[in-house]
Structure 1
Amino acid sequence: MSSESSSESELSACSSKFDPSKALYAPKPKLPVENAPMYENLQQFEAALKYESLNTSSIISVGRHELFQKREEEKERKKKEQERLLEEKNKQRFAQYEGLVPTTRNRRNIKNVMTRIETMMGPLGALKECVDQRLRIKVITRNANGIRGVLHATLVAFDKQWNLAMTDVLEVWKRKAPSKRKIPASLGTPVPKGTAAAISPVPVITETPLGGGVWECTRHLPQIMVRGEHVVLVNIIER
């Protein structure tokens, strides 16, 4: 009986003797909460807890398609309402100049970046879809030696050189432990405390040790612009 009770305690997530490896290969593991939400990774779970404390629903767990569909419909409704208000405002502004604008002249169709972007296809067309529908994307960035990290963000603007302007950015990257980092000798005089924060608040970096002298760093940025030469891969994670 004692062996059976010990094995049950090893499979129970609420027990102090919980063994994850045995629970993973158990035929019938006991789930403490069967309808618990699922997330893709630990960073997404922490972000969901943060947004939940702020009474917002920016992070949706896996399998909750109805919530995602409802949020997208609400975004589309707000977007159409803003376009309608802007159109009415422009009509009121330029109503007095309608009689002064010549209407019989044949205007030549002008081709530029703004007209060609409407008919884009391929990768740039996918980026335009992300901008129009405000889809979340994952951008893998590089440095001089290899992969630097990952950006989870909402795309706002781009160009043909793949320069990306994004908002609501969650950045994740890895670097060496503090004892192994090399600080350049020519950093100069540090900025006085409070000067930079008065212009723009400095994002808080959260560091988590992964072992082997490697730390995982995360931070949240309200907006960022990434040059195209630093972009390795863009993946649409929200449809």
Structure 2
Amino acid sequence: MSADENKSDSSGSESEVSACSSNFNPFKALYSKKAEIPVKNAPLYENISQYESAQKHENTIIPVGHKEEVDKRELDKKTKKEEQERLLEEKNKQRFARFQLPQPVRREKRAKNVLTRIETMDGPLAVLKECVDHRLRIKVITRNATGIRGVLHATLVAFDKQWNLALSDILEIWKRKGEKKRKIPPGLGTPVPKGSAAKIFPVPLVTETPLGHGVWECTRHIPQMMVRGEHVVIVNVVER
């Protein structure tokens, strides 16, 4: 083969791998080392369909190697989606607000007893509440079946709306006839023998003072006492 033939063959192969030549052969250009890219900064696409879409719609198909633009596009999509969801949620709230009923509020159940009811007492019972809070001494006049029985000087601990009183540190004073004029029922004539109850809580000692005309004044001190409301006549505050 002559030199002219070799020169023509080499020129023919160069024209086949050149992208600007009319004799361009893409198969040879893939395997040839002489092939050169005419535009070095040209965008790269994964397939022909992406290239066609990029030619039809600008800025929708991002070339290979532009990761920053891909991340920015995904962030914009996410932000736009969140904004649409927020607007839709607000629109639904405004739309169905008039059909919503107020939710019932569950109140905490509070135990009801004498001590809790004392806190809400008003009227005359509010005075007794003041006596309980400030530990004031009171004077309670009691009655029996026929008249006034006696007087209690004590500290009020608790009470209720029926005027049942729980007292402490009580000084009880009452009057009764002398021993010769007393009418003692047969069942009460015999003293009760001392037992275990007397050892735990001894019977209060009664002090008797003669007033004349066969009447004696009796006093005794009791640590605690419960007075029923039906026996209460008057309650007077001694200390303020």
- Could you tell me the TM-score, scaled by structure 1's length? 0.52
Please report the RMSD computed on the Cα atoms of aligned residues, expressed in angstroms. Answer: 2.2
Residue 117 of structure 1 deviates from its aligned partner by 3.3
- Return closer, same or farther for 1:115/1:218 CA change in 2, 3 Å cut-off: closer
1:186 aligned counterpart, secondary structure: helix
Tell me, in whole angstroms, the C-alpha distance in 1 between the residues paired with 2:116 and 2:140. Answer: 26
- Return closer, same or farther for 1:176/1:115 CA change in 2, 3 Å cut-off: closer
> Which aligned pairs between 1:195-206 and structure 2 lie closer than 5 A?
195-206=196-207
- Return closer, same or farther for 1:128/1:147 CA change in 2, 3 Å cut-off: same
AA at the equivalent of 1:221:
I
Could you give the per-residue CA deviations for residues 72-116 of structure 1, whole angstroms, max 9, x where no partner exists?
xxxxxxxxxxxxxxxxxxxxxxxxxxxxxxxxx943165755555
Match of 1:158 in 2: 159
- Return closer, same or farther for 1:110/1:124 CA change in 2, 3 Å cut-off: farther
Tell me, in whole angstroms, the C-alpha distance in 2 between the residues paired with 1:133 and 1:154. Answer: 10
Could you give the per-residue CA deviations for residues 180-233 of structure 1, whole angstroms, max 9, x where no partner exists?
111101238642235442131111100000001100000000110000000000
Match of 1:89 in 2: none
Q: Retained in 2: the 8 A contact 1:196–1:202?
A: no
Q: Which segments of 5 or more consecutive residues in structure 1 lack a partner in the other structure?
A: 1-104
Tell me, in whole angstroms, the C-alpha distance in 2 between the residues paired with 1:202 and 1:116. Answer: 33
Tell me, in whole angstroms, the C-alpha distance in 1 between the residues paired with 2:187 and 2:179. Answer: 19
Q: Which segments of 5 or more consecutive residues in structure 2 lack a partner in the other structure?
A: 1-103
> Which aligned pairs between 1:13-92 and structure 2 lie closer than 5 A?
none
Could you give the per-residue CA deviations for residues 33-74 of structure 1, whole angstroms, max 9, x where no partner exists?
xxxxxxxxxxxxxxxxxxxxxxxxxxxxxxxxxxxxxxxxxx
Match of 1:210 in 2: 211
> Which aligned pairs between 1:134-213 and structure 2 lie closer than 5 A?
134-187=135-188, 190-193=191-194, 195-213=196-214
Match of 1:126 in 2: 127
Could you give the per-residue CA deviations for residues 166-189 of structure 1, whole angstroms, max 9, x where no partner exists?
000000000001111111012386
- Could you tell me the TM-score, scaled by structure 2's length? 0.52
Tell me, in whole angstroms, the C-alpha distance in 1 between the residues paired with 2:174 and 2:116. Answer: 37
